[in-house]
Amino acid sequence: MAPFRQLRRKGPVFIVGKELGDGLLKIGFFQVTNPLDVQWFPPLSFGYLKSYVEREFSGEIDFFRLTEEELFQRSFDLLALSTASQDFGACCELIRRFREVNSDCPIIQGGHHITYMPETLSLEVNAGVMGEGEATFAEIVGIFLREEGKLPLRKLREIPGVVFWEDGKMVKTKPRPLIENLNTLPMPHREVSEVPYLFSSRGCPFRCAFCTSSAFWGKMRYFSAEYVVREIERIVDQYGEWVSHLTFMDDLMTLNRTRLRRMAILLNERGLSENVSFSMAVKAGSVDDDLCGIFKAMNVSDVFFGAESGVEWILQYLKGGIQTVDQNQAAIDTLASQQIPVSLSMIVGVPGEKEEDLHKTYRFVIENLKARKIFVASVNILMPMPGTLIWDLALKKKVFNLETIQWDRLRCFTSYRNSTIRNISDWISVRKETQSYYLNEDSIPHERLLTLMEEYETEIQSVQNS
């Protein structure tokens, strides 16, 4: 294929290809996020897309991550944007600003929000990618290369998993089939300047009322134990002695115990578990002494799970009958007896939750902290997110409507412990300023909930510091 040539745009003229001497198609990637909200790791979506398209178009693509400043200053031929729903308002504003200085550069938008709500795709965006993005985005890039810098709508119609506007009407192509064999994916690109982490699976077999995972990923799929251990070896080779701990960000790492046991064996055979420890999510009902034995063989330093509530009816409402308060406590007790530290995530602000229910949830946390059975618990306020049962409930309760929804009011939905905000008081101030959506005003007014949370967080801090 001939080297990518020259694209001329309104405003700045971006000259690429032969004019720059490398003949490569320049693709910029930008993830729209809220700097105050959850910031565990940089998104690995970029790494998967980069490795996939550069494998498919070897020697033709230069795919790079952009900072917001570079988005308006750096030259590129195609822009890939990703955003979740809580940042969709900021994303729309960014697209507007980008179009003021660059009216011609095609924009491809992916991520959770467009997957669940393709009808909100901006008219300024050339196409949206719905769901698992590697193959779909690669096909779009292929069209862009073959059509010499254009994305004809007749060609986009041929690609599964795409949404776009044509003559004022939305076009959604047929769904993209899932990648059945995840081992066919190239390992994601990683930058040594970023803290490494990994996924060993995609999806979740359960559908918790508040979680978007199953709606986005479809059915549960796994990378093989051999693939995962090779990826760990690659990370260790890339980062050297700097990496001594890795986190698996799977929704539920431990469901396939046979695979996990095989992983532990391979890590030991290759000497990896001697120098690298691991963290991962567990399902409360699956924790037993056998699983703890696998953790120890694998050098798991800590685990985490969504206990969600200390109240049975709330837990059933949120988790759909797959978990009980007794199972939560039994899992904590077993992990504590095996000296495996555990952290929890909890949810308050559930419709119908009363103050006595809130007290039970916080007492559950505080008693386990006092007993030194957990080391931290993040308490989150339930937030409706597209793709979930809670979202459907919020629409039914008319908390908002889709014509007037203010996407920024979905922000600040995580605990301050998972954000860049360092204390509960500042987090509450930001939440008030944002006017975050809230679903339980009838039972516990938002202002009262925040007061109670601040009081309990003060007690938690005291317990942790004692």
pLDDT-based confidence at residue 142 (cuts at 50, 70, 90): very high
Residue from 19, 61, 52 nearest 133 by CA? 52
Per-residue confidence band for 413, with pLDDT thresholds at 50, 70 and 90: low
Q: Which of 254, 267, 256 is nearest to 299 (CA)?
A: 267
Average pLDDT across the chain, whole number: 91
Residues 255, 174: Cα–Cα separation, whole Å: 31
> Is a pLDDT exceeding 50 seen at residue 7?
no
pTM listed for this prediction: 0.91
User: What is the rounded CA–CA span in Å between residue 221 and residue 199?
Assistant: 11
Residue range 22-34, pLDDT digits in tens? 689 999 999 998 8
| Helix 355-370 and helix 325-337, axial crossing angle in degrees, nearest 10 | 10
Report the C-alpha gap between 162 and 152 in whole angstroms. 13
Q: Does residue 21 register a pLDDT over 50? A: no
In the CATH scheme, what is the code of domain 17-172? 3.40.50.2300
Look at domain 190-465 and name its CATH class.
Answer: alpha beta
> Between these two residues, 193 and 42, which has the higher pLDDT value?
193
Residue 17 pLDDT > 60: no
| Per-residue pLDDT reduced to its tens digit, 167-209 | 999 999 999 999 999 999 999 999 988 899 999 999 998 889 9
Amino acid at 93: E
Residue 1 has pLDDT above 80, yes or no: no
Q: Measuring CA to CA, which residue among 417, 455, 419, 456 is closest to residue 434?
A: 419
CA distance 16 to 22: 8
Query: Taking residues 435-446, what's their average pLDDT?
Result: 96
CB contact at 8 A, 368 and 335: no
- Looking at the predicted structure, is the pLDDT value of residue 421 above 90? no
Per residue in 333-369, pLDDT (tens digit) is: 999 999 999 999 999 999 999 999 999 999 999 999 9
Asked whether the predicted pLDDT for residue 240 surpasses 60, the reply is: yes
As a whole number, mean pLDDT of residues 71-76 equals 93
Asked whether the predicted pLDDT for residue 214 surpasses 90, the reply is no
**pLDDT reported for residue 16:** 37
For residue 133, pLDDT beyond 70: yes
**Domain-wise residue ranges, the chain:** 17-172, 190-465
